[in-house]
Amino acid sequence: MGQKFGCQNMVDPIQRVLMKHPKDAYQNQAKVKEQSPQLHYFGVPNFEKAQTDYEKLVAFLKSAGAEIHFLPADDSTSLDSVYTHDPCVISNGGVILCTMGKDARVPESKAMASYFESIDVPILGRIESPGTLEGGDVVWINERTVAVGEGYRSNAEGIRQFKNLLGNHVNDVISVPLPHWTGPDDCLHLMSNVSPIDHDLFLVYSRLLPVSFRQYLLSRQIKLIEVPDEEYDSMGCNVLAVAPRKVIMIEGNPITQKRLETEGVDVQTYNGTEISIKGSGGPTCLTRPFFRSNQ
């Protein structure tokens, strides 16, 4: 059996994915009520409904053929641990553990390292303080080119370390400056504004992209689908490709959904009021694919 990890693109079929069920991340309604304000959530998630809605997301992934791995409950982590995308980045050489820009999330990478080691996925390295890096800032343009958003969650030192750890696994690491937007307490990642849908098709919110990066994408012959202003806050730009032109998104973004479908994209939706909108984490945030392959 060949290598069973590696994820240096964001559109090939997901073969293996790491997730954390709300029953283990949230644990109970009392914990949700206590931590939601501390974590700057937009509301208090309903523990029971969160689990029901999450199961629909899980069902979509299973139907797409993904092998799902679940992180166990861990008292050292917060509600945010439901968003498994951010504490690490998966390279073809192994897992790169992140040092999170949000202090409450720092313990998550250690918990994730333990799990990956238990299933024989190697740890390539770790971003060390004062460097910070979060997975939501990392967008693979292709297998050899990766863009990283530089902002409040991922800093220049974190990006420098990331480039060194990747070594000869990549040709180019592009730093993309992010705007202040709504400030350091909010969560603005590069993936808040860019979602790869196919190798030559990306969903974007251009108003928050640097002109140079947008032009770069176009120069790579990548077609851009624009998310309208009225669907940005409802996370219309946070879309998970489970395979080329086959995606999962939060329901309630009909304009974006129609624009995707016009490009021949198969769209499945779930109710994200509890597990996505309140904690600012869409389907990409709720999943950490660690093996994508078109074989």
Cα 32 from Cα 180, distance rounded (Å) = 28
> b/e for 114-151, b at 16 or more Cβ within 10 A?
ebbeeeebebbbbbeeebbbbbbbbbbbbbebbbbbbb
Q: pLDDT tens, 185-197?
A: 777 899 999 999 9
DSSP H or E stretch at residue 138: strand 138-142
Domains contained in the chain, CATH given: 14-288 (3.75.10.10)
Q: For residue 218, give both structure tokens.
A: 């176009």
CA distance 41 to 249: 20
What are the tens digits of pLDDT across the range 121-157? 999 999 999 999 999 999 999 999 999 999 999 999 9
Burial of 3 (0-12, 13-18, 19+ CB in 10 A): exposed
Q: What is the pLDDT of residues 98-129, one digit of tens each?
A: 998 778 888 999 999 999 999 999 999 999 99
User: How many angstroms separate the CA atoms of 224 and 140, rounded?
Assistant: 15
Higher pLDDT, 227 or 101: 227
Residue count of the chain: 295
pTM: 0.96
H or E, element range at 16: strand 14-19
First to last CA, the chain: 13
Question: What percent of the chain is modeled with pLDDT above 90?
Answer: 93
User: How high is the pLDDT of residue 2?
Assistant: 67
